[in-house]
Every structure is written in structure tokens, then in C-alpha cells.
Amino acid sequence: MGLGIAAGFLVPPVLIPNVEDVEKLAYHISIMFFMTAGVASALFILVIIGLSDILKCKTFPMQTHTPGLNVGCFYALSTLLNRMVIHHYPGEEVNAGRIGLTIVLSGMVGALISGIWLDKTKTYKQTTLVVYIMSLVGMTVYTFTLSLGHLWVVFVTAGLLGFFMTGYLPLGFEFAAELTYPESEGTSSGLLNVSAQIFGIAFTIGQGQIMDHFGTKAGNLLLCSVLFLGTVMTAFIKADLRRQQANLENEQTAVSSKETNGFLECCFTYVLLRMSIAQRQRITDDNRVQTPKVRAWRPFTA
């Protein structure tokens, strides 16, 4: 990154001369742009080649979209939250910010709890599906309670929504890492972030346009439908837990190796013991052979 910035400061002054001729200046600028496009295209091709293995995973494309849909809904909701709250509760700008804070804080708690639960149970697909369903439920409840006129209800439903929607983030990343093992977790996480950014931009623009023409409830129903689609897609993802299976095989190999080493150690100890006993027996036999027999003394008789 730093090297690219340094090149950005160094190369343009060299390629683009300080001339007043507009056509000549445009020519040199076009050369710089073509060079930039060439370098970017080469890097893009290298990235695609590097991702060829991870893209061969049949379940990963769907797993890329499902977190992207969930996080994209969260981005759209966070961006348009102030506008929705003020529309139904004029003059409550401060509380609109507090509602956003409630979503974030409850989401932090949800992410922590879901991560701990996942480490304990290793139920990746089941946990992911349940949290996705609860995100849909939370979004639906929030949609139909926003216009009731009770601000405290909005706080409660927003907290519930944030708990599950933000709590889904570590689940999505961990599930993707399981499906793409032994590929780098950074690669799968990067693709998930790209998906989330693209869906976030699309949903923010789309929900904003729907709110302009049909109201806030219609815009929130768009997010509900997206979460429903993500829930269905999650249900059809095959739980091919490659990383967990690899860890299990490594543990079994370690146990088998330990048992084998223990058996060999016992055999070696037994051989040494037998050799020691045989050596002692040989020494005892040699001593018996070499020691002369002493005859008992008898008195002389005529």
C-alpha cells in the first residue's frame, strides 16, 4: 500500500510534463491512465488466479451471498435509521442516535455470545441458520412497531434486531472459513466483505428510493424480504466442515502416533529387560564353571 502511494507521487510528474498545450497534456495523461489500467488489470488477473481454488468450492458462492445480504441490510438500516426515526418521531434526533447506539452495543454482545457458543458446540450451520431466522424476526418486529408511537418500543426492537443481525457477523466468517479450508481465512473474509459492501450500497440506494415513494414501512419490508431470501439460501448450504474434519483427523493421528510410540517404548523396555536378565544369567553360569570345588578334609587312617 505504501509503495503504491509512493509511486503515485513519483510517476505522474515524470509522465505528465508542465506544458500549456492542452492536446499534448491530454495525450500524456491518457498514457498514464492506460498504464494504470494495465497494472490494475494485471493485478486483477492475478487475484482471479489466486481465487481459482476457492471459487471451485460449490457451496462457497452461496455462502458469500448470504452474509452479504445480512450485512448489507445492516448497512442500509444503519444509514437510513435517523431518517426513519425522525419521520415517525419528529424532533427526536438525539434518541435516533441513541437507538443506533443500542443496535451497535447489543450487536457487540450478540457477536461475543455467538462466538463463544460456536467455539463450544461447533454447530456452524445450525447456529448460523437460527441467528439468520432471528434476524428476520427482529427486522419484521421492528418494521411493524416503528410507527406505533412508543419510542421505548423502538429501543427494545432495535436492540433485539442488533443483537442477532450484528451477532451474525462472526458466524458468517467462521462458517465461510470452514467451507473453504485449507484456503486462507483472509481470502474468504475479504470476499465476504466485498459482498457485504456491494449489497450494502445497493440496499441503501434501493430502500431510500422506496421510502421516498412508498414510505418507511415499504422500505423496511424490502429488507425483510432480503433476509427471508438469505434464510432460505442458508438452509440449502451444505455443511461441509472441512476445517473441523481436518482438525479431527489431526487429533486422531496424534493419538494413534502416541499409542504407537507407547507400544514401541514398551517393546524396547521389554527387550532391554530380557537382555539384562540373560546377561546376569550368563555371568552366573560363568562363575560356577570357573570356581574350583573344595574337597572336605578327612583325617588320615592307616
User: 151-170, pLDDT tens digit by residue?
Assistant: 899 999 999 998 998 888 87
Q: Establish if 186 belongs to a structural domain.
A: yes
- Helix ranges (H only) for the chain are 2-15, 22-50, 52-55, 60-88, 93-121, 124-145, 151-180, 185-214, 216-235, 242-290
For residue 234, the model assigns a pLDDT of 84
pLDDT at 148: 85
- Identify whether 283 is part of a domain: no
Number of structural domains in the chain: 2
Q: 187 in a domain, yes or no? A: yes
CATH number of the domain residue 73 falls in: 1.20.1250.20
In a domain, 301, yes or no: no
Whose cell is 437460527? That residue is: 130
Tell whether 24 and 164 lie within a shared domain: no
Query: How many residues can be counted in the chain?
Result: 302
Asked if residue 293 is part of any domain, the answer here is no
DSSP 211-248: HHHH-HHHHHHHHHHHHHHHHHHHHTS----HHHHHHH
Which stretches in the chain have pLDDT values below 50?
A: 302
Phi (first) and psi of residue 288, to 5 degrees:
-65, -40
Write out the residue range of the structural domain in which residue 7 sits: 2-40
The answer to whether residue 153 is domain-embedded is: yes
The pLDDT, as a whole number, for residue 11 is 76
> What is the reported pLDDT for 223?
92
Query: Based on the domain organization, do 70 and 181 belong to the same domain?
Result: yes
pTM to 2 decimal places: 0.66
Residue 96: inside a domain: yes
Residues 36 and 62 in one domain: no
Same domain, yes or no, for 209 and 113? yes
